[in-house]
């Protein structure tokens, strides 16, 4: 009996010792549970520091995943600065030793873990043969953050959110009870998907330039951003316009729409004539363009003329009556078949005169030959005698010697000047700056070379300078 009492008094039977051991085990279990996210104590880990533009709501203890498995935790998030002074966040990671070292081209992405806002860091392995050493810093260029759905929704104003909610409810009610119809529609889309394959193949080709189109579209949308308020007001005004049109939709708009196909058919049938009219109109506007260009200078003069006309015209009632009568007579005259035939012949004549006039006009406008001819012709009769005018002329004599002009020759005389004779110089068709000719006035400007004959236009440019004339002299 005494031995049993001694066994009952051993260490295992002491309440104090049992309580102390229980408290110690509880403290160790709580400590391990509290630090479970950071790994077990005395277990080696792989440490990395990731530079991030924004911590993106990552906090102490958030998971680090790779390939869908947890490989570490975020041990802390500390502020830091880049060499240029830009503030950033530094994500300090404690990773498992088994993944050391990570390739240096690995990327790190902050992603949403659940609907309540929890985040985690996703590691995407690179292909480099070099790896990050323990304690290395990952540059900011290899970190990114996905746009969360809640941030997408926060870009809308409360009225817009209510509108989206109502639209979603309306779409849900619209498709309710129409499952069979939707299935039939999806079945009908199957051939479309088959035909869509080649189209998408062409769009994905580099030669299509789809990337450039999207960049241009982005620039276009960016250009619309400053006028977004005006665009919104445009839609509001369109609603007002359509509301007003709703009152005349039947029968006026309905009749106009019904008459549109016949109008298009008539337009297509008359398009050849319309095309000629449009071509003539374009030619007329092109011809009027130089005159229109002078309007900024001539407009004040025209305005002054109109102002004078408004003061003068009230007193010209008799002239107005005669002008109206003249206009009516001209209208009756213009309708005469004989007159119309005459105008047709005159139009044909003017059309035929176009090329010769284009050839002859530079002879006067550039070289002044017509005026000089008329002046010189008048000068022939400028000597007056008692019986009238005397025709002035100069006698041209020829040398009556062998080898000179008095006898036929097999070639052009090109001998040296002897007395009054010399080499032949003649230009029967001189250049007059006409189309296809050099810009020169050859007649009267040919140089004389006493040592050789010159037939036709001499070489070189002779210029366009001729003797000037003036009225009355």
What's the pLDDT score for residue 1?
A: 44
Count structural domains, the chain: 3
Token reading at 252 = 């006026």
Q: 406 in helix, strand or coil?
A: coil
Token reading at 218 = 């982005």
d(CA 269, CA 431): 51
Q: Which helix (H) or strand (E) holds 237?
A: helix 228-246
Mean pLDDT, range 246-265, rounded to an integer:
84
**Domain-located, residue 71:** yes
**Domain-located, residue 253:** yes
What's the pLDDT score for residue 278?
A: 86
**Domain-located, residue 192:** no
Do 42 and 140 reside in the same domain of the chain? yes
Tokens 């323990």 belong to: 134
Token reading at 341 = 């035939």
Q: Which domain holds residue 411?
A: 366-473
Looking at 222, 255, 282, which one is the last position of a domain?
282
What's the pLDDT score for residue 471?
A: 67
**Domain-located, residue 342:** no
**Domain-located, residue 176:** no
Looking at 90, 120, 153, which one is the last position of a domain?
153
pLDDT tens string 310-319: 888 777 778 7
Token reading at 112 = 């949403």
Q: How many Cα atoms within 13 Å fall on the side-chain side of residue 346?
A: 6
Per-residue pLDDT band at 470 (split at 50, 70, 90): confident
Residue ranges of alpha helices (H) inside 247-368 are: 254-293, 295-312, 317-334, 337-365
**Domain-located, residue 346:** no
Contact predicate 414/430, CB 8 Å: no
Q: Which residues pair with 90 in a beta bridge?
A: 51, 78
Do 277 and 371 reside in the same domain of the chain? no
Burial 450-465 (b: 16+ CB within 10 A, else e): eeeebeebbeeebebe
Mean pLDDT lowest among 32-36, 56-60, 106-110, 207-211: 32-36
pLDDT tens string 370-413: 888 888 887 777 677 776 667 777 766 666 666 566 666 666 66
**Domain-located, residue 202:** no
**Domain-located, residue 162:** no
d(CA 141, CA 88): 12
Looking at 105, 134, 153, which one is the last position of a domain?
153
Residue 144, burial from CB neighbour count under 10 angstroms (0-12, 13-18, 19+) = middle
What's the pLDDT score for residue 410?
A: 63
């Amino acid at each position: 009996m005494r031995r049993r009492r001694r066994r009952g008094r051993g260490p295992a039977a002491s309440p104090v010792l049992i309580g102390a051991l229980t408290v110690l085990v509880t403290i160790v279990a709580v400590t391990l549970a509290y630090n479970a996210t950071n790994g077990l104590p005395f277990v080696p880990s792989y440490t990395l520091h990731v530079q991030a533009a924004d911590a993106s709501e990552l906090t102490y203890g958030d998971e680090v995943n790779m390939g869908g498995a947890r490989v570490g935790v975020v041990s802390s998030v500390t502020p830091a600065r880049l060499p240029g002074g830009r503030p950033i966040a530094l994500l300090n990671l404690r990773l498992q030793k088994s993944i050391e070292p990570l390739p240096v081209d690995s990327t790190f992405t902050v992603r949403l873990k659940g609907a309540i806002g929890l985040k985690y860091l996703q590691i995407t392995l690179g292909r480099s043969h070099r790896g990050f050493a323990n304690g290395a810093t990952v540059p900011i260029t290899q970190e990114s953050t996905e746009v969360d759905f809640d941030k997408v929704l926060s870009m809308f104003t409360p009225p817009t959110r209510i509108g989206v909610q109502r639209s979603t409810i309306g779409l849900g009610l619209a498709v309710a009870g129409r499952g069979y119809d939707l299935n039939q529609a999806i079945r009908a889309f199957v051939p479309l998907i088959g035909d869509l394959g080649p189209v998408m193949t062409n769009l994905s080709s580099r030669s299509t330039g789809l990337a450039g189109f999207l960049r241009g579209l982005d620039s276009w949308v960016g250009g619309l951003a400053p006028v977004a308020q005006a665009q919104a007001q445009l839609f509001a005004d369109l609603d007002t316009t359509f509301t007003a049109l709703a009152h005349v939709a039947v029968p006026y708009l309905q009749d106009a729409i019904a008459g549109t196909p016949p109008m298009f058919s008539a337009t297509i049938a008359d398009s050849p004539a319309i095309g000629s009219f449009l071509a003539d109109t374009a030619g007329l506007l092109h011809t009027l363009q130089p005159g229109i260009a002078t309007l900024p200078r001539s407009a004040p003069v025209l305005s002054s003329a109109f102002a004078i006309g408004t003061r003068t015209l009230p007193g010209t009632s008799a002239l107005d009556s005669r002008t109206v009568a003249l206009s009516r007579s001209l209208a009756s005259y213009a309708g005469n078949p004989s007159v119309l035939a005459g105008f047709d012949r005159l139009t044909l004549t003017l059309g035929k005169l176009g090329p010769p006039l284009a050839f002859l006009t530079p002879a006067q406008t550039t070289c002044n030959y017509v005026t000089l001819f008329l002046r010189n012709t008048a000068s022939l009769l400028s000597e007056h005698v008692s019986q009238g005018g005397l025709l002035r002329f100069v006698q041209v004599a020829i040398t009556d010697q062998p080898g000179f002009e008095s006898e036929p020759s097999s070639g052009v005389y090109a001998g040296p000047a002897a007395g009054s004779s010399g080499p032949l110089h003649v230009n029967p068709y001189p250049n007059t700056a006409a189309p296809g000719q050099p810009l020169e006035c050859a007649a009267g400007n040919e140089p004389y070379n006493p040592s050789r004959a010159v037939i036709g236009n001499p070489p070189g440019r002779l210029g366009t300078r001729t003797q000037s004339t003036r009225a009355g002299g």
